């Protein structure tokens, strides 16, 4: 008995097929090891102050109670005479008798503070809405939005991300009562200073955790701004804020009043960047 030519060719073909399968498996494993997975892990802990709503409330509920009175925008108690509290008198008493200042201020408000307003009502059931804050229900954007920039990015790369989305950094100095703005970090930084934030209507955020908090201070230093003792804030233009709101709404098509937290991550796209919703949690 001997190995025929057919058996030799068959063995060679089987060996080639097995080799190709092994090579394909190894190539696929190498590719999967290089793919960056979406960050869907748990978000960093952040304290949320619950005020105007409760988690077992209704998304479409408000603090409204039906009344025979005509409905107006600012109803409150009335039909009582109101005496204005003279704050200057309180201050004079504090200066004269500092030891009894707290007692005098308490007595002032107990004896003179009374409710006043217009007769009116709001129609509804009177149940507390779902969420937090004094509004109609839900958690406001600055409390439920969480932005994740790519950790480990270079200073130049991080500056390009900020400029691409039009994000302006601000250094708030509470003791000096000033706010310094800086933008255009990737080209030529432009800075300006104001004494009050009364005219600031943009959405702003501050860092809760992460290593990029130090990078902000480096960007300010490169722009010639000393941020020692300052709180760094991120100011988002209305266009970027509206884009984030649309991404949040389109993620699961949920009512925003029921959303507790939406986590956005920055991803590179072509020559620019994009925001991506990587996780969303709900009040119930």
CA distance 278 to 265: 7
Q: What is the pLDDT of residues 50-84, one digit of tens each?
A: 555 555 565 555 555 555 566 666 555 554 444 44
Mean pLDDT of 122-139: 56
Residue 60: per-residue pLDDT: 56
Query: Which residue is it, tokens 């190995």?
Result: 3
CA distance 101 to 94: 5
Q: Are 115 and 76 in contact (CB under 8 A)?
A: yes
What's the angle, vertex CA 121, arms to CA 116 and CA 125, rounded to 5? 130
Pairing assessment for the beta strands 145-148 and 259-269 based on DSSP bridges:
parallel
N residues, the chain: 284
Q: The tokens of 83 are what?
A: 């005496």
87-96 and 101-112 are packed helices; what angle lies between their axes, rounded to 10 degrees?
Answer: 160
Mean pLDDT of 19-28: 91
Burial class (CB in 10 A: 0-12, 13-18, 19+), 245: middle
Q: What is the CA radius of gyration of the chain?
A: 30
What is each CA distance from 113 to 106, 170, 189, in whole angstroms? 10, 39, 51
Residue 210: per-residue pLDDT: 73
CA distance 243 to 283: 23
- Indicate the Cα dihedral angle 92, 94, 96, 99, nearest 10°: 170
CB atoms within 10 A of CB 179: 21
Is this prediction's pTM over 0.75? no
Which band of pLDDT confidence, cut at 50, 70 and 90, is reported for residue 241?
very high
Q: The tokens of 106 are what?
A: 């308490």
Better pLDDT: 151 or 230: 230
Residue 96: per-residue pLDDT: 58
CA distance 117 to 126: 20
Q: Which of 121-135, 219-233, 249-263 has the lowest mean pLDDT?
A: 121-135
CA distance 148 to 41: 12
Mean pLDDT of 173-183: 89
- Asked if pLDDT for residue 174 goes beyond 60, the answer is yes
CA distance 152 to 210: 10
Q: Are 201 and 216 in contact (CB under 8 A)?
A: no
What percent of the chain is predicted at pLDDT more than 90? Answer: 29
């Amino acid at each position: 008995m001997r190995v025929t030519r057919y058996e030799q060719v068959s063995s060679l073909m089987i060996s080639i097929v097995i080799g190709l399968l092994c090579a394909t498996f190894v190539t696929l494993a190498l590719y999967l090891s290089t793919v960056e997975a979406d960050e869907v892990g748990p978000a960093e802990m952040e304290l949320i102050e619950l005020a105007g709503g409760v988690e077992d409330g209704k998304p479409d509920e408000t603090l409204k109670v039906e009344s025979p009175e005509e409905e107006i925008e600012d109803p409150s108690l009335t039909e009582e005479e109101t005496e204005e509290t003279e704050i200057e008198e309180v201050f004079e008493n504090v200066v004269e008798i500092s030891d009894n200042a707290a007692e005098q201020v308490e007595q002032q408000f107990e004896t003179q503070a009374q409710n006043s307003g217009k007769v009116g009502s709001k129609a509804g059931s009177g149940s507390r809405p779902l969420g937090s804050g004094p509004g109609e229900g839900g958690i406001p954007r600055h409390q439920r939005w969480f932005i994740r920039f790519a950790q480990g990015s270079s200073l130049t790369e991080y500056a390009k991300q900020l400029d691409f989305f039009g994000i302006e950094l601000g250094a708030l100095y509470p003791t000096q009562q000033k706010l310094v703005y800086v933008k255009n970090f990737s080209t030529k930084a432009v800075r300006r200073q104001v004494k009050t934030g009364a005219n600031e209507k943009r959405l702003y955020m501050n860092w809760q955790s992460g290593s990029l908090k130090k990078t902000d201070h480096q960007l300010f230093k490169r722009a010639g701004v000393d941020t020692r003792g300052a709180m760094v804030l991120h100011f988002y233009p209305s266009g970027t804020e509206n884009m984030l709101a649309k991404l949040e709404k389109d993620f699961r098509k949920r009512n925003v009043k029921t959303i507790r937290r939406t986590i956005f991550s920055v991803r590179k796209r072509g020559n620019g960047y994009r925001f991506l919703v990587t996780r969303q949690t709900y009040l119930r």
